Amino acid sequence: MKKRTFKLIVFLSPEFWWLVFKLPSILSEWISIPNYFFSRLQNIFTEERLVNIGIMRWANLDSGILKILSKFMYNRAMILVDEFFGYLSYFSPRFYFQSGDGSKFSPPGIEPIPLILFPLFVLGIVESVRKKSLKIFLLLILFALIPFILGTRSFAFLWPMAALYIYISSVGVSTLKESYRKTLLIILFTYGVFLGGKLIWTVF
């Protein structure tokens, strides 16, 4: 049941069809992985970020304990903490259920995964924790890590995350009572057809 629901949601997700038609572009993105990686490394401790740290220390305005505290608080290590929280933003549901990445790898004006699945996604997360499906969470961490390390939010690299979000949503659907599930799948199918139509209408 879960697998069938997963497949259904995949087929009803605009992002899936969009990426199918963008396969050559995705491959060319992948070829650029080394460039992304080295560019990302150079962009961690940029001049601008170091200057901003200097500003937050307010060197010319403070003295004594505040000056020492400033050095303890605002430094390169803090940039790494900032990066960690930047990494967490790769899990933001808005990205997958509403906005997409804003590049040619997301369908324009339409959500990558049907929006109405968001509550089911939350239930799916809870159910996955309950069943101790560690694999899902390890994969989530890994799949978000790849684009994060490359410093890009492109769906050319994030599509495995989208696939996992769909899978988790299907887990959420499976937690519903039979009657609710049927109703939801009918609504989802209707909405998915609308999204498909919108995608075709937008492109052509």
Partner 1 sequence: MDSFLKINEKKLLLLIFLAAFLFRFFMLSQNPVNLSMDEVSIGYSAYSVLKTGRDEWGVRFPLAFESVGDFKPPVNIYLTVVSIAVIGLNEFSVRFPVALLGSITPLIFVLLLKNMKFSRFGYIFAGFWFALLPWHVHFSRGSFEAVTALFFMLLGALCFILCIRKKSFLLFNLSNLFLALSLWSYHAERLFIPALIIALFVIFRKDILFIFSNTKKFFASVLLVTILITPFIYLTFFTQAVKVRALSTSIFREQSLIQELHNGKYRDLGDKIFDNDIYIVSRHWAGKYLNYFDPRFWFWKGMQFTPPQYFDSGLFYAADIILILPGIYFLFTEKDKVKKYLGMFWFFAGPVPASLAMNEQHPLRALTWIPFFGLAVASTLDRVGPKLPKRLPLVLIYMATLVVGIVYFSDIYFRQFPRFFADAWQYGYKDIALTVCKEKNNYDKVIVTDTFGEEAPVNTGIPGMYVLFYCKVDPNDFRLKGAPFDKIKIRRIQWKSDKIITNSLIVGSALDLPRDQIPEKNILKTIYYPDGKPAFVFLNTKGLQLEKGRMGPFED
Instruction: Provide the binding-site residues for partner 1, judged by CB under 8 A.
Output: 48, 52, 55-56, 58, 60-62, 66, 69-70, 73-74, 78, 81-82, 85-86, 88-89, 91-94, 97-99, 109-111, 115, 118-119, 122-123, 125-126, 129-130, 194, 197-198, 201-202
Q: How far is the CB of 174 from partner 1 (least distance, A)?
A: 15
Q: How far is the CB of 19 from partner 1 (least distance, A)?
A: 20
Q: Half-sphere exposure of 106 toward its Cβ, with a 13 Å CA cutoff?
A: 21
Q: How far is the CB of 42 from partner 1 (least distance, A)?
A: 18
Burial code (b: 16+ CB inside 10 Å, e: under 16) for 17-46 equals bbbeebeeebeebeeeeeebeeeeeeeeee
CA 190, 191, 194, 195 dihedral sign is negative
Q: How far is the CB of 38 from partner 1 (least distance, A)?
A: 23
Q: How far apart are CA 49 and CA 179, in angstroms?
A: 54
Q: What angle do CA 56, 62, 68 make, to 5 degrees?
A: 75
Q: Which residue number, 93 or 151, has a Cβ lying nearer to partner 1?
A: 93
Q: Which residue number, 23 or 59, has a Cβ lying nearer to partner 1?
A: 59
